[in-house]
Amino acid sequence: EAQVTQNPRYLITVTGKKLTVTCSQNMNHEYMSWYRQDPGLGLRQIYYSMNVEVTDKGDVPEGYKVSRKEKRNFPLILESPSPNQTSLYFCASSLNPLDGYTFGSGTRLTVV
């Protein structure tokens, strides 16, 4: 089944403890992207990648890192999480962003 897989689905962590949210797609898509969703703010793009080793900042990249060492994987790294990064995170991929993205099921992150 063609899909974008994020792990974990739920995560509670403490301030300052490094964490990684994994994202993998099995559709051979070139484009991948990370978003955060907050009440009243909609979704905001954190980082996106147009190909292996090519990444660019979205609207809200501060406090996040990404890497794209292989086409299928696009992990989101929080080196020192803070409570304001508590949010619902989505990974998405696309063969051509002009056709829209396929989204993962989301990761609910709580930083205490």
Partner 1 sequence: AQTVTQSQPEMSVQEAETVTLSCTYDTSESDYYLFWYKQPPSRQMILVIRQEAYKQQNATENRFSVNFQKAAKSFSLKISDSQLGDAAMYFCAYEDTGNQFYFGTGTSLTVIP
Residues lying near partner 1 in the complex (CB under 8 A): 31, 33, 35, 40-45, 48, 50, 56, 58-59, 88, 90, 92, 97-103, 105-106
Asked if residues 93 and 101 have their Cβ atoms less than 8 Å apart, the reply is yes
For partner 1, the closer of residues 12 and 14 by Cβ is: 12
Closer to partner 1 at the Cβ: 8 or 16? 8
Cα 24 from Cα 30, distance rounded (Å):
12
**Which positions ≥6 away from 39 have C-beta within 8 Å?**
none
Nearest approach, Cβ of 16 to partner 1 (angstroms)? Answer: 28
